[in-house]
């Protein structure tokens, strides 16, 4: 029947050879591409593979390749995704959740990573954390240097056009606000 369709019999169970393009066993044996193409078939014979001594032996297994890492102890809440079964052995502790932003993060991490509610809550928690940081600075009598923190000095030095545009927009918004406030007060 294969001859009637015009196709030759193929060895379905033969493992594919890279670049073999569906050759039959006989065709593979008759063509010796390793003589004409440098490096052809170098990955087929393990004795010719340069990475074999460094390859992991299959009987070792993935989990026992390296010794187990001791689990770091958490001193405060560590958020982890709902998609992960357990906490990673080592994690960062430099910014523990605190205040209203911490409550928002606790709420956000209850959602799956594929949910928009998770990401919107976490972005909102970042903005709340920024405002909490400003209030914390003011409470400790540290007045934030907003122009320096926004990088306006560097922008003035290296990107004068954008600095001029931002300054014009800011002056326009403030002037419009003062004009609107003056008209409302006069009324």
Position 78 in a domain: no
Q: Which long-range contacts (CB under 8 A, 24 or more apart) does 118-126 make?
A: 125/101, 126/101
Q: Are residues 125 and 152 in the same domain?
A: no
Residue with tokens 């002037």: 175
Position 81 in a domain: no
Q: Are residues 131 and 152 in the same domain?
A: no
- Give the per-residue pLDDT at 39: 74
Tell me how far apart the alpha carbons of residues 132 and 136 are, in angstroms, rounded to a whole number.
Answer: 6
Q: How many CB atoms lie within 10 A of CB 124?
A: 15
Q: Are residues 6 and 28 in the same domain?
A: yes
CA 147 to chain centre: 31
Dihedral sign (CA 174, 176, 180, 183):
positive
Nearest to 127 by CA among 154, 100, 152: 100
Position 104 in a domain: yes
Q: Are residues 155 and 131 in the same domain?
A: no
Residue with tokens 């809440």: 77
Position 3 in a domain: yes
Q: Are residues 137 and 152 in the same domain?
A: no
Q: 155 Cβ partners below 8 Å, 6+ apart? A: 162, 163, 166
Position 22 in a domain: yes
Range of the domain at 129: 97-144
- Give the per-residue pLDDT at 94: 81
Position 154 in a domain: yes
- The DSSP code for 52 is G
- Give the per-residue pLDDT at 146: 83
Position 166 in a domain: yes
- Give the per-residue pLDDT at 157: 92
- Counting the structural domains of the chain, the total is 3
Q: Is the pTM of this model over 0.75?
A: no
Position 88 in a domain: no
Q: Are residues 123 and 133 in the same domain?
A: yes
Q: Are residues 135 and 152 in the same domain?
A: no
Q: Are residues 157 and 176 in the same domain?
A: yes
User: Three-state DSSP class for 138?
Assistant: helix
Write out the chain's pLDDT in tens, 187 residues: 444 444 444 444 445 555 545 555 555 555 667 777 777 776 666 666 666 656 555 555 555 556 778 888 888 888 888 888 888 888 888 888 899 999 999 999 999 998 999 999 999 999 999 999 999 999 999 998 888 888 888 999 999 999 999 999 999 999 999 999 999 998 8
Q: Are residues 133 and 161 in the same domain?
A: no
């Amino acid at each position: 029947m294969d001859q009637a369709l015009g196709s030759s019999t193929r060895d379905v169970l033969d493992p594919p050879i890279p670049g073999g393009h569906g050759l039959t066993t006989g065709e593979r044996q008759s063509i010796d591409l390793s003589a004409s193409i440098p490096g052809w078939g170098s990955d087929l014979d393990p004795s010719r593979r340069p990475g074999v001594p460094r390859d992991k032996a299959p009987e070792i297994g993935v989990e026992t390749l390296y010794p187990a890492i001791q689990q770091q102890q958490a001193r405060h809440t560590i958020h982890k995704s709902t998609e992960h079964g357990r906490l990673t052995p080592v994690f960062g502790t430099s910014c523990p959740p605190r205040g209203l932003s911490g409550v928002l993060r606790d709420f956000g991490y209850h959602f799956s990573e594929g949910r928009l509610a998770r990401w919107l809550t976490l972005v909102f928690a970042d903005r709340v954390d920024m405002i909490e940081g400003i209030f914390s600075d003011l409470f400790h009598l540290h007045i934030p240097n907003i122009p320096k923190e926004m990088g306006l000095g560097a922008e003035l030095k290296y990107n004068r056009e954008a600095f001029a545009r931002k300054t014009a927009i800011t002056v326009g918004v403030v002037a419009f606000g003062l004009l609107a406030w003056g008209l409302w007060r006069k009324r």
